[in-house]
Amino acid sequence: MAALPWHDIDTVLLDMDGTLLDLHFDNHFWLEHLPQRYAELHGVSRAMAEMELQPLFERHAGQLQWYCLDFWSAELKLSVRELKLETAHLIALRPDADTFLAAIKKAGKRVVMITNAHRDSLSLKLERIELAPYFERLISSHDYGFPKESPQFWDALQADLDFDPARSLFIDDTLPILRSAREFGVAHLLAVSEPDSRKGPKDTGEFGAVGDYRDLVAGL
């Protein structure tokens, strides 16, 4: 990956899950732990649980409620936050993400987290991984009422932060979100080559990707 033109970048916008934190926690929770506990709590087989959950997941993917713990708790008639606590030991920082965060903060860049994670999910993770001190702001898309996939999210972010998209870097592990940022005019975009440490590299489409955060520090 080519070195970033840091002299052209004032603001660094960073996703959380799969970008700074290992996506293994979220994948394991939604694909393994939740279906198992749903089956146990509702007295159905694991196979039946998956048959009931899969259409719901597909129907709401990419929408704000997909990321909302209150929505899923009501929809599934269980406490998603409590179930997440059962697997919280899996929450982990991606290698050298903290080294990168420390370097860009020291370099005087404006650093803002923008995540689709619900505030309860964000709090759960920040209790275990000390990320907050690196950031000027920690913004959940729920604050604006639109997911990052939506153009309205970027309009709301611009109104809130008053940042220059042409002088901003955004790193995210989700291609539709990166494309939404590109449509808005964010000039510097990076995907993540391996958001889940257990699943290996993924296709990052037309976007350059970060594999090792130490590589991004060059030229700061």
The residues annotated with a catalytic role in the active site are: 8
What six digits make up the tokens of 204? 């990052």
Tell me how far apart the alpha carbons of residues 106 and 179 are, in angstroms, rounded to a whole number. Answer: 29
